[in-house]
């Protein structure tokens, strides 16, 4: 799953953080997305989390948008 690879690449996260990011990714992904789209989604989700967005609803909302928006 792309989010777990991205989390490992980004650094050390606690188990609850990994679980949160995994849950958010599962809510955002679409079974018809290409591997590249899922990779981009995982990158956006992680970037938003690392930028300090911790509220789940806000994290979902912001991760639906392209980075920098």
User: CA 54, CA 60: separation in Å to the nearest integer?
Assistant: 10
Domain ranges of the chain: 2-63
Note down pLDDT in tens along the chain; length 69 residues.
677 777 777 777 888 988 999 999 999 998 898 999 999 999 899 899 989 999 999 999 999 887 665
Instruction: State the pTM of this model.
Output: 0.77
DSSP H helices, 1-69, are 2-10, 15-28, 35-50, 56-63
């Amino acid at each position: 799953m792309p989010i777990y690879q991205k989390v490992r690449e980004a650094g050390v996260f606690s188990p609850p953080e990994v679980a949160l990011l995994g849950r958010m990714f599962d809510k955002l992904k679409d079974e018809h997305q290409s591997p590249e789209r899922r990779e981009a989604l995982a990158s956006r989700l992680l970037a938003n989390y690392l930028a300090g967005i911790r509220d789940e609803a806000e994290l979902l909302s912001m991760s639906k948008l392209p980075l920098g928006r």
